[in-house]
Amino acid sequence: MSYSKYVWRKRLILMGAATVLAACKNATIANEGVIENFDSAVYADMIIINAKVTTQDKNKPVAQAIAVRDGKILDVDTDEIIHQYRGETTEVIDAKNRRVIPGLIDSHSHFLRSGLAYTRELRWDGVPDLETALNMLSEQASRTPKGEWVRIIGGWSPWQFKEKRLPTIAEINKAAPDTPVYIQYFYSVGMLNQMGMDKLGINSNTEDPKGGKFVRDSHGTPTGLMLAQPHPGIFYGKIAALPDTSEEVKVNSTIHLFHELAKFGLTSVIDAGGGGFGYPDGYSVAEKLATEGKLPLRTSFYLFAQNPGKELEDYHNWTRGNKAGTNTDSTKEHGFEIDGGGEYLLWKAGDFENFRSDRPVLDADMEKDLTPIIKLLVERRWPFRIHATYDESITRILDVIEDVNSYKPLRGLRWSIEHAETIGLNNIERIKSLGGGVAIQSRMVFLGDDFSERYGAEKAKATPPLRMLVDKGIPIGMGTDATRGSTFNPWVGLHYLVTGETVSGRKLYDSSNLLTREEALKLYTIGSAWFSGEEHIKGRLSKGQLADFAILSKDYMEVPLKEIKSIRSVLTVVDGEVVYGDGDYQSLSPKLEPLLPSWSPVKFYGSYWP
């Protein structure tokens, strides 16, 4: 039992049964009807009653109530049966006929890196029009202190605005004439206002980087518009040049981001690393929080090669000193774990999801450089994942994996292709035969319009081929690729899986490539758990499973499709403890320190509109 659970139980015992009952007569917690002379060995720490429980347990797919003890599911059944686990110290929560689901798991994210900057970023996620977005920018610029920037990095698309376009540089300069601004749309387009260009020293003498372009005026002076053509390296240096902050702010920012993720019903995340985010230094804030029991969600992470040309050296160093699957969070099982290598194992193998540019062709010697990395990870039993957007890239990557497997067998080692928007049937079957998986994300919600404009509506109909992937029975996980990519709101992705719609309302897929609500939820729970090797202990609500679940604001299984995107959690539980509560359950939510810095955009706008 965790320390906080022990303190809670001890406190209730000391209060006495009469005091407990008096304190629990509100609409949320009800401890009436305690059964006397019941064996305390089977008392629950928490009971959820009066619920519509989606268990994802094929032997008992629906239920009314859940009993939790020591961070695990004690039982799932009817209210009447679960009542027998109620003791004097049992916390009883009335779900009020709301839907309860297993906690959502984001199988591909970048939250550990994002946490360090979350409270200093302005989010345009879900903002409906440019007028609103630019007003937010103007207001935030006016309150941002000298020496700081307004940052809008990921989670939005020009297609979401009613105007269906990017802001102009003139509009950005007008909104923020005296505060430096950096804006990035996925890894396709970046924008700087004049003050930002001045701060970074970008002028007519600045050369275009390889694979990128500064758009210039008739005099050859950069305008502030930056294009990846197709390499996003033009953006990496700009983000790295933005001012850093104190350890205190980074800690506060990480806690607030993970609390915000819990607001959406997420209970676990699998982090895919990122450029400029090396191990162990970049992970120190999150690891310290996890060690102290202050990181509310279960977090698995993969290590992303940092130095182009020296990737093998990175993995030699990391695999020598770390065993994959090691948990450094002493407060809960599977709390904070290194899971393996990726998503970038080799920079040469990276094909970029910039559908505003031509498909990149991987270097001719990619296979030669990737082979020793795969071989090392197989030898040292490190699971791995590798970024690949296009089927052409996947073909070449699979050639390497098949070759290594011929003399250094995988023997069940977990590995996956990440993204796979244009994957074809042949490569799906190759992945299945090698025991791999495919991690997909909500990227096409934001990029599907760009893809359709370049390649046509017909080719967009299977990007990726959702139905084919599911029907082939290979492991599939759902995620976001947040936060520099899409939004971290998982309900946007669930809506996409069942409707095939982009942020503009364009319907990418016909009915033959859509999933049912049940199938979509499975990808975000049991399916995603496979990618951290945990599908046997989470993703379902059944006896012995980890007690991770969410009570929803709306019934996912029954609401109109258009309302799925607006679903939130009203109560999120991880390891049997409440990590987020809202509305009727707000009193149960952990109290957070005020947002830092004091001018944080999150304080004024939150993370998702409205």
Q: Are residues 240 and 251 in the same domain?
A: no
Asked if the structure places residue 220 within a domain, the reply is yes
DSSP 83-136: GGG--TT-EEEE-TT-EEEEPEEEEEE-HHHHHTTGGGB---TT---HHHHHHH
Q: Are residues 56 and 186 in the same domain?
A: no
Residues 488/259, Cβ–Cβ less than 8 Å: no
* pLDDT grade for 32, boundaries at 50, 70 and 90: very low
pLDDT tens, position by position, 398-449: 999 999 999 999 999 999 999 999 999 999 999 999 999 999 999 999 999 9
Structure-token pair, residue 416: 């996956």
Instruction: For tokens 């996980």, name the residue.
Output: 477
- Cα–Cα dist 444/432, whole Å: 24
pLDDT of residue 230: 86
Q: Are residues 145 and 200 in the same domain?
A: yes
Of 298, 358, 366, residue with least CA distance to 102: 298
> What value does the mean pLDDT take over residues 55-60?
97
Please tell me the total count of domains within the chain.
3
> What value does the mean pLDDT take over residues 547-552?
99
Domain endpoint, select from 97, 112, 131? 97
Domain endpoint, select from 225, 244, 263? 244
pLDDT tens, position by position, 221-279: 999 999 999 889 999 999 999 999 999 999 999 999 999 999 999 999 999 999 999 99
The CATH number given to whatever domain includes residue 409 is 3.20.20.140
- Cα–Cα dist 179/176, whole Å: 6
Asked if the structure places residue 602 within a domain, the reply is no
User: Looking at the predicted structure, is the pLDDT value of residue 10 above 80?
Assistant: no
Q: Which of 331-335, 482-486, 517-521 has the lowest mean pLDDT?
A: 331-335
| Secondary structure letter of residue 588 according to DSSP | G
User: Looking at the predicted structure, is the pLDDT value of residue 365 above 70?
Assistant: yes
Asked if the structure places residue 111 within a domain, the reply is no
pLDDT of residue 330: 82
* pLDDT grade for 23, boundaries at 50, 70 and 90: very low
Of 34, 30, 28, residue with least CA distance to 95: 28
Q: Are residues 240 and 268 in the same domain?
A: no
Domain endpoint, select from 229, 244, 259? 244
Mean of the per-residue pLDDT values for the chain? 93
pLDDT tens, position by position, 95-127: 999 999 999 999 999 999 999 999 999 999 999
* pLDDT grade for 41, boundaries at 50, 70 and 90: low
Residue 562, burial from CB neighbour count under 10 angstroms (0-12, 13-18, 19+) = exposed
Q: Are residues 561 and 534 in the same domain?
A: yes
Taking the CA of residue 135 as centre, how many other CA atoms within 13 Å lie in the half-sphere pointing to its CB? 8
Neighbouring residues of 262: CB distance < 8 A, sequence distance ≥ 6: 296, 297, 569, 572, 574, 579, 580
Give the chain's end-to-end CA distance (angstroms, integer). 38
User: Looking at the predicted structure, is the pLDDT value of residue 12 above 60?
Assistant: no
Taking the CA of residue 609 as centre, how many other CA atoms within 13 Å lie in the half-sphere pointing to its CB? 16
Q: Which domain holds residue 148?
A: 120-244
Asked if the structure places residue 579 within a domain, the reply is no
> What value does the mean pLDDT take over residues 330-342?
93
Structure-token pair, residue 304: 């992303």
Q: Are residues 334 and 423 in the same domain?
A: yes
Instruction: For tokens 């970024």, name the residue.
Output: 387
| Secondary structure letter of residue 332 according to DSSP | S
Q: Are residues 68 and 132 in the same domain?
A: no
284-291 vs 247-263: helix crossing angle, rounded to 10? 70
* pLDDT grade for 29, boundaries at 50, 70 and 90: very low
Asked if the structure places residue 19 within a domain, the reply is yes
Neighbouring residues of 450: CB distance < 8 A, sequence distance ≥ 6: 159, 188, 355, 356
* pLDDT grade for 327, boundaries at 50, 70 and 90: very high
Radius of gyration of the chain (CA): 24
pLDDT tens, position by position, 125-175: 999 999 999 999 999 999 999 999 999 999 999 999 999 999 999 999 999
The CATH number given to whatever domain includes residue 14 is 2.30.40.10
- Cα–Cα dist 496/479, whole Å: 12
Residues 524/109, Cβ–Cβ less than 8 Å: no
Q: Are residues 128 and 155 in the same domain?
A: yes
Asked if the structure places residue 593 within a domain, the reply is no
Give the rounded percent of residues in the chain with a pLDDT score beyond 90. 91
Q: Are residues 238 and 330 in the same domain?
A: no
* pLDDT grade for 40, boundaries at 50, 70 and 90: low
DSSP 222-276: EEEEEEESS-THHHHHHHHHS----HHHHHHHHHHHHHHHHHTTEEEEEE---TT
CA distances from 545 to 56, 382, 467, 536 (A): 12, 25, 28, 8
| Secondary structure letter of residue 513 according to DSSP | G
CA angle 599, 604, 607 (to 5 degrees): 110
pLDDT tens, position by position, 66-103: 999 999 999 999 999 999 999 999 999 999 999 999 99
| Secondary structure letter of residue 303 according to DSSP | E
Q: Are residues 300 and 313 in the same domain?
A: yes
* pLDDT grade for 42, boundaries at 50, 70 and 90: confident
- Cα–Cα dist 441/105, whole Å: 12
- The sign of the dihedral angle between the CA atoms of 536, 542, 543, 549 is positive
Q: Are residues 193 and 91 in the same domain?
A: no
Asked if the structure places residue 217 within a domain, the reply is yes
Structure-token pair, residue 378: 């197989």
User: Looking at the predicted structure, is the pLDDT value of residue 461 above 90?
Assistant: yes
pLDDT tens, position by position, 181-222: 999 999 999 999 999 999 999 999 999 998 999 999 999 999
User: Looking at the predicted structure, is the pLDDT value of residue 459 above 80?
Assistant: yes
Residues 287/328, Cβ–Cβ less than 8 Å: yes
Asked if the structure places residue 189 within a domain, the reply is yes
- Cα–Cα dist 310/515, whole Å: 41
CB count, 10 Å around CB of 456? 10
Q: Are residues 397 and 423 in the same domain?
A: yes
